[in-house]
Amino acid sequence: MNLASTLSGPPEYQAAVTGAALFDTSAAAKLVLTGPDAPMFLGNLSTNDTKELPLGGGCEAYFCDPRAKVKFQTWIYHIRLSDGRHAMWVETTAGRNTELVQYLDRYLISEQVEIADRTADFAQLHLAGPGAAAVLGTALGEPVPDLPPFAHMERTFGGTATCSLRRRDQLGVPGFDIVCRTDVADGVRRLLSAAGAVPAGPDVFETLRIEAGAPVFGKDIDENRFVMEVGFAPRAVSYSKGCYLGQEPIVMARDRAGHVNRAFLGVKVLEGGPLPAGTKLFRDGAEVGLVTSSCDSPRLGAPIALGYLKWKHQEPGTKMDAETPTGKRAVEVLGLPPVK
């Protein structure tokens, strides 16, 4: 059976689930940190172990305040610049580049680190789908190695457009971030489209993101959210590294309680359409959760939502009520990711 023929949703969505879809994610904020102390400096501030990142390696990480409340959601890569210098590439939420520069500069005392905002200089594409690697290989004219999560390498499209290819499965399907200078981005996009990638827009990206249960700062995360409540936070937190800002509350949550009071999970909406952000969830008359994102899921054939549920109300299959402006609506806990 052809899976695409059984799916609802636009062709761009079907391409991401069965082939390869191409998204423009150039708005992502991008910083480059150079200098011998850059890995240590980032490691002292972030939740993950950036000091030991090998060249070609990367990781997800959070910058927190001393209470371990999230300040920035980031992805950090150890790269080599065109002049041969090693550097740390830091990606964060679109529009927050200036804020992140100011945050980092506040903690920069005597370390040998230079911070440059490169957001406007580099375009970024995201190629997503089970056919993403094959499409990349066709566009490049050579096979793409099987990269582990967040690993990256340089390859050249069309003989002149050198790009960083980064493995990042942020939409619940195999995915690659493709980062290049803005002046060559159109040519790279054309080569990928000619190789079979289907251009797709932000609405499809958002549907896939919610289906994958991937939180995003500004919608699902804010500066009042404890980092260990956030979905997929465990892969962004190292317990074996040295001290860093926010470490004590994180270790206490692990050692004293064994769990956090709330967890980021997905729910299925059993009646009506997607839920507005901010919708409260109730069980047996008590408030137990809060919705942050919601969409219609073509793969489930029903609306789903992401949000935070209190401890003891997180078991998949648990029924509860969403309190909406038009009345109560039934939902059911799915877990994370909500669409597997």
- Look at the chain and report how many structural domains it folds into: 2
CA atoms of 137 and 145, how far apart (whole Å): 9
Q: Do residue 281 and residue 175 come from a single domain?
A: no
Q: Do residue 75 and residue 157 come from a single domain?
A: yes
Digit-coded pLDDT (tens) for 258-306: 678 899 999 999 999 999 999 999 999 999 999 999 999 999 999 999 9
Would the CA dihedral through 63, 64, 69, 71 be positive or negative? Answer: negative
Digit-coded pLDDT (tens) for 65-103: 999 999 999 999 999 998 999 999 999 999 999 999 999
Judged against a pLDDT cut of 70, whether residue 6 lies above it is answered with no
pTM for the structure as a whole:
0.94
Q: Do residue 28 and residue 164 come from a single domain?
A: yes
Domain carrying residue 277 = 262-339
Strands (E), 40-121: 58-64, 70-80, 86-92, 114-117
**CATH number for position 197:** 3.30.1360.120
The residue behind tokens 């240590």 is: 40
Q: Do residue 186 and residue 294 come from a single domain?
A: no
Residue 15, classed as helix, strand or coil, is helix
CA atoms of 197 and 120, how far apart (whole Å): 25
